[in-house]
């Protein structure tokens, strides 16, 4: 079967052309840990990590086992009787998340978690303005798209959800100037992922918290990408001991096995459900299969201390990347990140594309960030071995030398 041809004929012809142009013409067949195997048996070390999904790696045995067990019982809910599975997961999230984050709403993706958070913030404050940040990425459904920070993905679909104000990311005084008594929420990623792995200045998250307190607005922390260990702590807001009012999760919550999203909220915002408990719902949200898998996915992160692993491997890897960056100053303009959420900023999108293709030739999967094509994300599964990361470094060293030779042709 010509898979790419199938994409061309039945899914998205333009996407198929992009894959072909990048030389990504192999179909995946199976995966384990940090390694993806294609349909010809070729193995790749995955540094894209499903855009941050595979904290626990592909097909972690305990998580697969949980999926099998629940499949044998009841994967989806009757929606009439209550189920113990979402309760187990919500209880665990209440225990693991900081402060008095207590209640969980379950859905099926990151963008749905953000949609829920936006609605809960507006509903619980009775206000309309949402403050978001430039370069942010919160998803592509209407609400999430409206609070995201790049015109490219918005222009075709206007008018968007109204009353959204964008301020520069990491800029406390710009945020202060945007606050007023009609602000329902400030939505922020603790580290911008798709914006190009942007780490804000220390104290920024605390400043967001304080400004929300001053104005009675809800702080929404979008931890869809940063959450659950990737940055070296379980939740990235913990770096500054901040407790948001709403915390969005998805990606790694599914343990690399099922799609699931969640928004966890403090009691005051959950009042939105008091008059009508069905004010926001999802047919598949909180299904027993996803919740059981997610519950074990959390156990794996905690019991294998994956945040510590991300912290240790990440600081060593980032230091090594910075050495490479110094050796190629005309190609690599920055290497930054926290834990195993790392971005390599190249001198132009063309150079980044070339680096990505050359890495693929050397059997390393990596991909640029959606809102900043100059940045290649390095977000491998946190279970990756140090020896595999060394292979990535060696390949990257070769790639940068190769790209240096042809750089002028792509710029
Ligand atoms: C911070 C953040 N929020 C939300 C989303 C949207 O998640 P999904 O693609 O599951 O809808 C993403 C996806 O990359 C993300 O990085």
CATH of the domain at 36: 3.90.1150.10
Q: Cα–Cα–Cα angle for 390, 310, 239, nearest 5°?
A: 140
Q: Tell me, yes or no, whether 247 and 337 share the same domain.
A: no
Q: Tell me, yes or no, whether 95 and 118 share the same domain.
A: yes
Closest to 77 measured CA to CA, from 295, 289, 281? 289
Residue spans of beta strands (DSSP E) within 201-291: 218-222, 246-249, 261-265
pLDDT in tens, 319-352: 999 999 999 999 999 999 999 999 999 999 999 9
Helices and strands (H and E) in the chain: how many: 14, 15
Whole-model pTM? 0.97
Q: 208 CB less than 6 Å from ligand 1?
A: no
Mutation choice for ligand 1 from 111, 144, 169, 253, CB with most ligand atoms inside 8 A: 111
Q: Tell me, yes or no, whether 93 and 162 share the same domain.
A: yes
* 305 given a catalytic annotation: no
Is residue 107 very low, low, confident or very high in pLDDT (cuts 50, 70, 90)?
Answer: very high
Residue 122 CA: distances (Å) to CA of 186, 219, 249, 250? 11, 12, 19, 21
Question: pLDDT over 90 for what percent of the chain?
Answer: 95
**Dist. CA 310–CA 380, nearest whole Å:** 10
Q: Tell me, yes or no, whether 299 and 312 share the same domain.
A: no
Which ligand 1 atom lies nearest to the CA of residue 139?
6
Residue 410 pLDDT more than 80? no
Name the one residue in this structure whose structure tokens are 């220390």: 202
pLDDT at 388: 98
Are 376 and 197 in contact by the 8 Å Cβ rule? The answer is: no
Question: pLDDT over 70 for what percent of the chain?
Answer: 100
Q: 193 CB less than 6 Å from ligand 1?
A: yes
Q: How far is the CA of 249 from the centre of ligand 1 (A)?
A: 9
Q: How far is the CA of 192 from the centre of ligand 1 (A)?
A: 11
Mutation choice for ligand 1 from 135, 136, 250, 368, CB with most ligand atoms inside 8 A: 250
**Dist. CA 154–CA 193, nearest whole Å:** 18
pLDDT in tens, 72-92: 999 999 999 999 999 999 999
Contacts of 82 (CB under 8 A, 6+ apart): none
Residue 25 pLDDT more than 90? no
* 222 given a catalytic annotation: yes
pLDDT at 411: 65
Q: Tell me, yes or no, whether 122 and 223 share the same domain.
A: yes
Is residue 55 very low, low, confident or very high in pLDDT (cuts 50, 70, 90)?
Answer: very high
Q: 370 CB less than 6 Å from ligand 1?
A: no
CATH number of the domain to which 152 belongs: 3.40.640.10
Q: Tell me, yes or no, whether 25 and 118 share the same domain.
A: no
Is residue 103 very low, low, confident or very high in pLDDT (cuts 50, 70, 90)?
Answer: very high
Q: Tell me, yes or no, whether 117 and 180 share the same domain.
A: yes
- For the residues 152-169, what does the mean pLDDT come to? 97
| Tally of domains within the chain | 2
pLDDT at 177: 98
CB atoms within 10 A of CB 218: 26
**Dist. CA 410–CA 354, nearest whole Å:** 8
Which ligand 1 atom lies nearest to the CA of residue 370?
14
Q: 196 CB less than 6 Å from ligand 1?
A: no
Which ligand 1 atom lies nearest to the CA of residue 189?
1
- Single out the residue in 303, 331, 348 at which a domain terminates: 303
Average pLDDT, the chain: 96
**Dist. CA 27–CA 385, nearest whole Å:** 24
Are 221 and 188 in contact by the 8 Å Cβ rule? The answer is: yes
* 251 given a catalytic annotation: yes
Q: Tell me, yes or no, whether 9 and 115 share the same domain.
A: no
Residue 195 CA: distances (Å) to CA of 38, 133, 198, 248, 377? 29, 10, 7, 17, 10
Cα-only R_g, the chain: 21
pLDDT at 49: 87
**Which residue's alpha carbon is at the smallest distance from atom 16 of ligand 1?**
225
Q: How far is the CA of 227 from the centre of ligand 1 (A)?
A: 11
Question: Which range marks the domain in which residue 78 is found?
Answer: 61-303
- For the residues 366-372, what does the mean pLDDT come to? 91
Q: Tell me, yes or no, whether 268 and 217 share the same domain.
A: yes
Q: 224 CB less than 6 Å from ligand 1?
A: yes
Half-sphere exposure of 249 (CA within 13 A, CB side): 32
Q: Tell me, yes or no, whether 398 and 319 share the same domain.
A: yes
Is residue 303 very low, low, confident or very high in pLDDT (cuts 50, 70, 90)?
Answer: very high
Q: Tell me, yes or no, whether 74 and 209 share the same domain.
A: yes
Is residue 24 very low, low, confident or very high in pLDDT (cuts 50, 70, 90)?
Answer: confident
- For the residues 203-232, what does the mean pLDDT come to? 98
- Single out the residue in 287, 303, 319 at which a domain terminates: 303
Q: 138 CB less than 6 Å from ligand 1?
A: yes
Q: Tell me, yes or no, whether 269 and 390 share the same domain.
A: no
- For the residues 218-247, what does the mean pLDDT come to? 98
Contacts of 147 (CB under 8 A, 6+ apart): 114, 118, 130, 132, 136, 138, 161, 164, 187
- Single out the residue in 263, 280, 303 at which a domain terminates: 303
Q: 358 CB less than 6 Å from ligand 1?
A: no
Residue 209 pLDDT more than 70? yes
Mutation choice for ligand 1 from 54, 55, 110, CB with most ligand atoms inside 8 A: 110
DSSP secondary structure letter of residue 48: S
């Amino acid at each position: 079967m010509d898979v790419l041809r199938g994409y061309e004929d039945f899914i998205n012809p333009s996407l198929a052309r992009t894959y072909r142009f990048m030389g990504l013409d192999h179909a995946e067949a199976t995966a384990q840990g940090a390694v993806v195997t294609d349909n010809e048996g070729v193995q790749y070390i995955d540094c894209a990590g499903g855009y941050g999904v595979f904290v626990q790696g592909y097909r972690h045995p305990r998580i697969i086992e949980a999926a099998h067990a629940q499949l044998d019982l009841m994967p989806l809910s009757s929606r009439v009787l209550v189920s113990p599975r979402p309760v187990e997961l919500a209880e665990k999230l209440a225990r693991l998340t900081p402060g008095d984050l207590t209640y969980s709403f379950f859905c099926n993706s990151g963008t749905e978690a953000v949609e829920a958070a936006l609605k809960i913030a507006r509903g619980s404050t009775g206000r309309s303005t949402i403050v978001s940040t430039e370069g942010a990425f919160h998803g592509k459904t209407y609400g999430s798209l409206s609070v995201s920070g790049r015109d490219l993905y918005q222009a075709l679909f206007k008018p968007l959800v109204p009353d959204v104000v964008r301020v520069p990311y990491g800029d406390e005084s710009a945020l202060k100037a945007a606050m007023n008594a009609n602000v329902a929420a400030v939505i922020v990623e603790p580290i911008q992922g798709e914006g190009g792995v942007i780490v804000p200045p220390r104290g920024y998250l605390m400043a967001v918290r304080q400004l929300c307190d001053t104005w009675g607005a809800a702080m929404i922390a979008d931890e869809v990408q940063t959450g659950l260990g990737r940055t070296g702590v379980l939740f990235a807001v913990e770096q500054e001991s901040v407790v948001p009012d709403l915390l969005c999760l998805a990606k790694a919550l599914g343990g690399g096995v099922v799609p699931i999203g969640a928004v966890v909220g403090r009691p005051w915002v959950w009042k939105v459900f008091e008059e009508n408990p069905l004010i926001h719902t999802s047919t598949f949200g909180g299904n027993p299969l996803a919740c059981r898998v997610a519950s074990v996915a959390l156990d794996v992160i905690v019991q294998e201390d994956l945040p510590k692993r991300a912290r240790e491997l990440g600081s060593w890897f980032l230091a090594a990347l910075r050495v490479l960056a110094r050796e190629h100053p005309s190609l690599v303009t920055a290497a930054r990140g926290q834990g195993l959420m790392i971005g390599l900023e190249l001198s132009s999108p063309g150079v980044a594309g070339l680096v990505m293709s050359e890495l693929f030739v050397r059997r390393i999967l990596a991909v640029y960030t959606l809102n900043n094509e100059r940045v290649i994300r390095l977000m491998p599964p946190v279970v990756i071995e140090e020896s595999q990361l060394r292979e990535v470094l060696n390949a990257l060293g070769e790639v940068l030398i190769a790209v240096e030779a042809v750089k002028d042709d792509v710029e």
